[in-house]
Amino acid sequence: MADIDQITNLIKKEISSYEDKIETSDVGTVVSVGDGIATIYGLDKAMYGELLEFPNHVYGMVMNLNEDSVGCVLLGKDSTIFEGDPVKLTGKVVSVPVGDGLLGRVVNALGEPIDGNGEIVATDTYPIESPAPGIMTRESVNEPLETGIKAIDSMIPIGKGQRELLIGDRQTGKTAIAIDTIINQKGKDVICIYCAIGQKNSTIAQIVSKLKDHGAFDYTVIVNASASESAPMLYVAPYAATSMGEYWEKNGKNVLIIYDDLSKHAVAYRALSLLLKRSPGREAYPGDIFYLHSRLLERSCKLNKEYGGGSMTALPIVETQAGDISAYIPTNVISITDGQIFLTTDLFNQGQRPAVDSGLSVSRVGSSAQIKAMKKVASSLKIELANYNEMLDFSRFGSDLDPTTKSILQHGGVLMEVLKQKQYSPLSMEDEVIEIYVAQSHQIDNVELKKIASVLEKIRSHIKANHNEVYTAIKETKLLSDETKALIDDSVKAILESLE
Ligand code: ATP
Ligand code: MG
């Protein structure tokens, strides 16, 4: 029968085209293992960054391609892996789940849930590394990302798609600023990602509960590579978090991503580089330490309308030692970002919180995204504070001060007081404009410093009760017209009179 011939032909064809898919170069052997690093013999076809499969579902990532061996970092516990174990190539790169299923979840550096709330329902998976969007797909920063923190929104404004560094010593309120910024995105259609690198799990638990208290957890993802995890997990975490953000960015959403902090990330990378026997450079960091952070932060940008108009704003955090911003990692990250917010221990201890140093903090692109009303009221703030600080040093020497110096000192003192702000209480842009306008128009220069906060509070409630149109006017026109100013002045007068 013809059918049998056909079938034999088919089988012959299949046999001739059969090739042995499991080649020896697809399976290697562990030569040595320890400290989260494995050296493998026999994986000739391994690619850089490829995912490797070890026994017991442990995975690793190729980091070194040597002549006769492959160096790999383990993304899991190394205690179940031994010399002589087989290792398989997977042909895939390390990927993480992306999509709305991540919102309100705490995941590890591989996107696996660690909050005990069940599986993540992923829309897709993205590789953890991807090239930064090209210049033709981008547009300049043109929309403010409101932090709700007066000192920042007025003097160091951040725009959507900007990369602004938060830098300062230990315990200067770096994380506090980042968390307040997340809380302030409520109702603003911004998705937030908090990537914790080398933090204590207890700190993360606290952050989660604070975000829940303020109704900010529903639009937030926490990627946690804690201090107790291996260096490779800390190394992978920010890239994984960025890939998660890119999903929303590509779909036209605005994303805010916080890396807390990149100093610990650099230290983890140094540890695994040394274990991989790469040669150490300055401060024992490997030669590509700059590239480590530049390829991460380059991925944050504002896409133009043609590409959906999404954005990813990055707030990397770097810890300094004794305020030294000229150390290796700080200078690297400062040169990659579009500005820095510098927090100092001195200001923090003096009670000036948030402890923003107005002289050393800059935002190189954000001011183009500031609303007109804010731009107008805050334009001379930085210079006035600089004058104030200069006079303050000077006034310590002599007691006899001329009236101009006295008024600069008095006004500066009021400004510093106005810029103080409690944690977890971000303000709306309208409130910020009103408070800074009141301070800058010298109307409260004679108020006792310790009463400033309560006076401002009273003025705001007076405006809300009697001239609510002030709020709608600023919100809708983004301007501060003379009529609006007159209404604010009216409330200020009423409150100041009530104090007497
Ligand atoms: P670390 O170096 O440990 O990460 P950090 O620089 O991130 O510290 P935070 O943890 O944010 O600092 O803040 C340190 C302490 O200061 C916390 O107890 C926090 O509650 C407090 N703090 C931060 N900001 C303010 C603020 N604006 N007003 C009052 N207290 C604040
Ligand atoms: Mg912190």
496 alpha carbon to ligand 2 midpoint, in Å? Answer: 39
Q: Within a domain: residue 10?
A: no
Residue 364 a catalytic site member:
yes
Q: Within a domain: residue 101?
A: yes
Q: Are residues 179 and 248 in the same domain?
A: yes
CA 309 to CA 27: how far, in whole Å?
44
Structure confidence by residue, pLDDT tens digits, 97-148 = 999 999 999 999 999 999 999 999 999 999 999 999 999 999 999 999 999 9
pLDDT at 396: 77
Q: Within a domain: residue 6?
A: no
Give the residue, out of 166, 264, 344, 353, with the most ligand 1 atoms within 8 A of its beta carbon, to mutate for a pocket test.
Answer: 353
Q: Are residues 114 and 219 in the same domain?
A: yes
| Helix (H) and strand (E) counts in the chain | 16, 16
pLDDT at 244: 98
Structure confidence by residue, pLDDT tens digits, 379-432 = 999 999 999 999 988 787 767 788 888 899 999 999 999 999 999 999 999 999
Residue nearest to atom 12 of ligand 1 (CA): 173
pLDDT at 273: 94
pLDDT at 24: 54
174 alpha carbon to ligand 1 midpoint, in Å? Answer: 6
Q: Are residues 152 and 245 in the same domain?
A: yes
Q: Are residues 102 and 86 in the same domain?
A: no
Q: Are residues 227 and 82 in the same domain?
A: no
Domain boundary among 342, 370, 398: 370
CA 233 to CA 229: how far, in whole Å?
7
426 alpha carbon to ligand 1 midpoint, in Å? Answer: 15
Q: Within a domain: residue 273?
A: yes
Nearest to 36 by CA among 4, 77, 93, 6: 77
Tens of pLDDT along the chain (500 residues)?
567 888 888 888 888 877 665 555 689 999 999 888 999 998 989 999 999 999 988 999 999 999 889 999 999 888 899 999 999 999 999 999 999 999 999 999 999 999 999 999 999 999 999 999 999 999 999 999 999 999 999 999 999 999 999 999 999 999 999 999 999 999 999 999 999 999 999 999 999 999 999 999 999 999 999 999 999 999 999 999 999 999 999 999 999 999 999 999 999 999 999 999 999 999 999 999 999 999 999 999 999 999 999 999 999 999 999 999 999 999 999 999 999 999 999 999 999 999 999 999 999 988 888 999 999 999 999 999 999 999 988 787 767 788 888 899 999 999 999 999 999 999 999 999 999 999 999 999 999 999 999 999 999 999 999 999 999 999 999 999 999 999 999 999 999 999 87
Q: What is the CATH number of the domain that holds 76?
A: 2.40.30.20
Q: Within a domain: residue 431?
A: yes
Domain boundary among 46, 65, 93: 93
Residue nearest to atom 22 of ligand 1 (CA): 173
Report the percentage of the chain scoring pLDDT > 70.
Answer: 98
Position 224, amino acid: N
Q: Are residues 381 and 488 in the same domain?
A: yes
The pocket around ligand 1, CB under 6 angstroms, is made up of 168, 170-176, 319, 353-354, 421-423
Q: Are residues 364 and 398 in the same domain?
A: no
Q: How far is CA 324 from CA 163, 169, 170, 266, 329, in A?
A: 21, 8, 12, 17, 11
End-to-end CA distance of the chain: 113
316 alpha carbon to ligand 2 midpoint, in Å? Answer: 11
pLDDT at 239: 98
Q: Which ligand is nearest to the CA of 348?
A: 1
Q: Are residues 82 and 118 in the same domain?
A: no
pLDDT at 23: 52
Q: What is the CATH number of the domain that holds 488?
A: 1.20.150.20
Residue nearest to atom 16 of ligand 1 (CA): 173
CA 167 to CA 164: how far, in whole Å?
10
Q: Within a domain: residue 313?
A: yes
Please report the atom of ligand 1 found closest to the CA of residue 170: 2
The count of domains in the chain is 3
Q: Are residues 88 and 100 in the same domain?
A: no
Enclosing domain of residue 211: 96-370
Q: Are residues 292 and 356 in the same domain?
A: yes
Q: String of b and e for 33-66 (b: at least 16 CB within 10 Å)? A: bebbbbbbebbeebeeebbbbbeeebbbbbbbee
Q: Are residues 187 and 306 in the same domain?
A: yes
225 alpha carbon to ligand 2 midpoint, in Å? Answer: 14
> Is the separation of the CB atoms in 167 and 334 below 8 Å?
yes
Catalytic choice (138, 278, 295, 364) = 364
Dihedral (Cα; 140, 144, 146, 152), 10-degree rounding: 80
Domain boundary among 370, 389, 424: 370
Q: Are residues 337 and 394 in the same domain?
A: no
Residue nearest to atom 23 of ligand 1 (CA): 173
